[in-house]
Amino acid sequence: MTFDLLIRNATLADGRSGQDIAVSAERIVAVERAITAEAGEVIDAEGQLVSPPFIDPHFHMDATLSLGIPRINRSGTLLEGIALWGELKPLLTHDALVERALRYCDLAVAQGLLAIRSHIDISDSLIAVDALLEVRERVKPYIDLQLVAFPQDGYYRSPRAVDLLKEALDRGIEIVGGIPHFERTMEAGRQSVAALFRIAADRGLRVDIHCDESDDPLSRHVETMAAETVRFGLGDRVTASHCTSMHSMDNYYASKLIALIAESGMNVIANPLINITLQGPHDTYPKRRGLTRVPELLAAGVNVSLGQDCCMDPWYSLGSGDMLEVAHMAVHVGQMTSQDAMATCFEAVTTHSAKTMGLDGYGIAPGCRADMVLLQAASPVEAIRLRATRLAVIRAGRVIARTPARAASLSLPGRPAVVNPAAYAPRIARA
Ligand SMILES: [Zn+2]
């Protein structure tokens, strides 16, 4: 028996250690201790964590890496970001969009990020739709890219969005987007949700709506989304993104709402890097965090995943394509510091996101696609703590990115010559 790839002595996210992972024909065929067989390539994991790849279920690839075009967001606020995007849109070209997206995908692969759902603004042009459709095909061998037709300026508020959204779907965009809290009235927001769900149901498509990205506790469009999800029987094919108003809602109403969301079966995505920076602009002190109620949603059985949303674009000058940075922020902003909650934050950028995106064959188990990341860390919690180095990124059984292990050389008399950050957790803490 000869395998294409054999990873030896891996620790898995569920805590199993000493595992060998065998790959044939782009699939994992065995996960067990001490596999005795030849392989085309052997990787010694040295007891470190092997995870399925990271997934970003909420991103804006039409805007990424545009930082500074035509100017930088000096204030760092949402309002200046929106103004800047308005200035940038007339300057977009097909080739520049493709080039920026491909460059971002290079960065993503290096970070072990192999599946991305990106919203594309279709409010007044389909130039980004055509560019991202091209990118989706070009990156297919290494990234699963899902695209959402997103009427950023409002499905009804933007004069051409109704027609352009339909045209974007006709051209091959596979998910219906929306932004009900940005319509002119609550009623227009409700109507936009109903109309967008009807389109999704008629065309057999998934739905992912920017929902209640607001500090207004009365922004309750997610309630309409839950009801429409039940009415159309769409279940986990629906995702509500952001849901930041839930942070500010009355607790009694929130308890009713979370039960409705759980009943509907829809997914929720929080974007902690962006929610913590863009929400609460009118607050003095105390300042709200703006993150939706992640622990409470999880406790109710809702599939919650975490997105990056932005990376070096008009809304956010930072970002690095690192989903561990996103999980790290969620741990802190959501005060999810119990051992179980931190492990869940790792799942929220891996398995939960795979469920949100409906990916097949995702995981480290026989029959799954041979997509994996070897991390310089012993556990998911340590991976988050260190934003651990991706030592090897594997797609379809082939290593497509490598990064040398992080190690500092130390010049201190009587102290070690090399510092490996992953070697510093007291052993008892890992037991
Ligand atoms: Zn977004």
**What Å distances lie between residue 59 and 34, 43, 379, CA to CA?**
40, 32, 26
Q: What percent of the chain has pLDDT over 90?
A: 94
Write the CB contacts of 76 (distance below 8 Å, at least 6 apart in sequence).
277, 317
Distance from residue 210's CA to the centre of ligand 1 (Å): 6
Q: How far apart are CA 55 and CA 358, in angstroms?
A: 12
Mark the residues whose beta carbon lies below 5 A from ion ligand 1.
309
Q: Which of the listed CATH numbers 3.20.20.140, 1.10.3720.10, 3.90.660.10, 1.20.1260.10 matches domain 54-357?
A: 3.20.20.140
pLDDT at residue 263 tops 60? yes
- pLDDT, residue 429, reads 56
SS3 305: strand
Report pLDDT digits (tens) over 101-117. Answer: 999 999 999 999 999 99
Average the pLDDT over 373-401 and give the result. Answer: 97
- pLDDT, residue 428, reads 62
Judge whether 382 and 375 are in contact, CB under 8 Å.
no
pLDDT at residue 1 tops 60? yes
Distance from residue 42's CA to the centre of ligand 1 (Å): 40
248 vs 428, higher pLDDT: 248
For CA atoms 106, 107, 110, 113, give the dihedral sign: negative
Distance from residue 340's CA to the centre of ligand 1 (Å): 28
Which of 146, 228, 129, 225 is CA-nearest to residue 181?
Answer: 225
DSSP 287: P
- Average pLDDT score, the chain: 96
pLDDT at residue 431 tops 70? no
The residue extents of the domains of the chain are 2-52+363-423, 54-357
Distance from residue 286's CA to the centre of ligand 1 (Å): 25
Report pLDDT digits (tens) over 43-79. Answer: 999 999 999 999 999 999 999 999 999 999 888 888 8
Lowest mean pLDDT among 105-114, 279-288, 302-311: 279-288
SS3 430: helix
Distance from residue 104's CA to the centre of ligand 1 (Å): 16
Average the pLDDT over 239-263 and give the result. Answer: 97
Distance from residue 254's CA to the centre of ligand 1 (Å): 23
Q: What confidence tier does 124 reach under pLDDT thresholds 50, 70, 90? A: very high
- pLDDT, residue 251, reads 97
Distance from residue 162's CA to the centre of ligand 1 (Å): 19
Distance from residue 271's CA to the centre of ligand 1 (Å): 8
Q: What confidence tier does 277 reach under pLDDT thresholds 50, 70, 90? A: very high
- pLDDT, residue 397, reads 97
Q: How far apart are CA 348 and CA 338, in angstroms?
A: 15
Judge whether 268 and 300 are in contact, CB under 8 Å.
no
Distance from residue 256's CA to the centre of ligand 1 (Å): 26
Q: How far apart are CA 227 and CA 225, in angstroms?
A: 5
Distance from residue 349's CA to the centre of ligand 1 (Å): 16
- pLDDT, residue 425, reads 85
Tokens of 384: 């988050």
Distance from residue 93's CA to the centre of ligand 1 (Å): 21
pLDDT at residue 430 tops 70? no
Judge whether 118 and 131 are in contact, CB under 8 Å.
no
Q: What confidence tier does 369 reach under pLDDT thresholds 50, 70, 90? A: very high
Domains 2-52+363-423 and 54-357 share a fold: no
Distance from residue 80's CA to the centre of ligand 1 (Å): 16
Average the pLDDT over 203-225 and give the result. Answer: 97
Looking only at the bridges linking them, the beta strands covering 398-402 and 390-395 are antiparallel
Count of Cβ atoms closer than 10 Å to residue 130 Cβ: 17
Cα atoms in the 13 Å half-sphere on the side-chain side of 22: 15
DSSP H helices in 70-185: 78-88, 94-110, 127-139, 161-170
Average the pLDDT over 257-285 and give the result. Answer: 96
For the annotated catalytic residues, the residue numbers are 213
pLDDT at residue 230 tops 60? yes
Give the fold, CATH level 3, of 2-52+363-423. Urease, subunit C; domain 1 (2.30.40)
